[in-house]
Amino acid sequence: MIRALLWDVDGTLLNFKAAEKAAIRTLFAEYGFGDCTDAMLATYAEINDAYWKKLERGEMEKPQILVRRFEDFFSVIGVDPRLSAAFNKKYQLALGDTIVFCDDADQIVAELKGRIPQYGASNGTLAAQTKKLERSGLDQLLDGAFISDQIGFEKPDARFFIPVCERLEADVPGIRKEEILIVGDSLTSDIQGGVNVGIRTCWYHPEVAAGAAVDETAERPRIDYEIRDLHEIYDILDLTTS
């Protein structure tokens, strides 16, 4: 039986891609860079993804990648890369300005509140994540939130989960690791992290429902559950008897 839920935030509870696009477009207008086209946003997404993968592999530090992604992006689109550090600072705050939930994440978390302890588990920066959790109301719905900036380690590092497990043991006396479920959209951070620390894993991958291709040959960490819509969490959590 699952007795506690760890929700990844970006891409799982919140539609991070929608917020990301809105924040970049707003800042392009503010800086007078002109229109940020869909093609430009796609270029940015590609550069950004590659840097986050480097972070997960421990090849780079977060402060470096936050600025470097914009330096690379600006170089490609013909904007002065020296503006990257200042742009990134504004971007971190602007990110919190657009709240878009995945599926009906807010309703689902609200519905589960009081029935099972729920926590956020995020690799985002403290400034951006705190603002997002507050603006979305998730800070009131969740029983707590763990942010890598505060812990000092990123998912999938098992050390990210040390304070998480300590808190869960205090909140849910006698809880065992296999009674904790992490729900996330990233195989490399959420699912691999769950595997590293020995808790159960649930991979949320809505893009498959939308028709995107999944590389079936890629090596994957152990996935205990797969869902394409967050409502499927009700089937995994057998709450009827509790």
Per-residue tokens: 227: 């869902």
Question: Residue 84 or residue 148: which is nearer to Mg ion going by CB?
Answer: 148
Q: Does 11 bind Mg ion (CB under 5 A)?
A: yes
Q: Does 120 bind Mg ion (CB under 5 A)?
A: no
- Least distance (Å) from Mg ion to the CB of residue 124? 9
| Full strand arrangement of the beta sheet holding 225-227 | 144-147, 118-122, 4-7, 180-184, 200-204, 225-227
Q: How many residues bind Mg ion (CB under 5 A)?
A: 5
Question: Residue 79 or residue 183: which is nearer to Mg ion going by CB?
Answer: 183
Stretch that binds Mg ion, among 84-92, 112-120, 179-187, 195-203 (CB under 5 A): 179-187
Q: Does 56 bind Mg ion (CB under 5 A)?
A: no
Q: From the list 4, 6, 8, 233, which residue makes contact with Mg ion (rule: CB under 5 A)?
A: 8
- Least distance (Å) from Mg ion to the CB of residue 81? 27
- Least distance (Å) from Mg ion to the CB of residue 31? 28
Question: Residue 117 or residue 120: which is nearer to Mg ion going by CB?
Answer: 120
Q: How far apart are CA 12 and CA 15, in angstroms?
A: 7
Q: Does 71 bind Mg ion (CB under 5 A)?
A: no
Question: Residue 9 or residue 24: which is nearer to Mg ion going by CB?
Answer: 9
Question: Residue 12 or residue 84: which is nearer to Mg ion going by CB?
Answer: 12
Annotated catalytic, 38? Answer: no
Q: Does 194 bind Mg ion (CB under 5 A)?
A: no
Residue type, 214: V
Chain residues in the site for Mg ion (CB under 5 A): 8, 10-11, 185-186
Q: Active-site positions?
A: 8
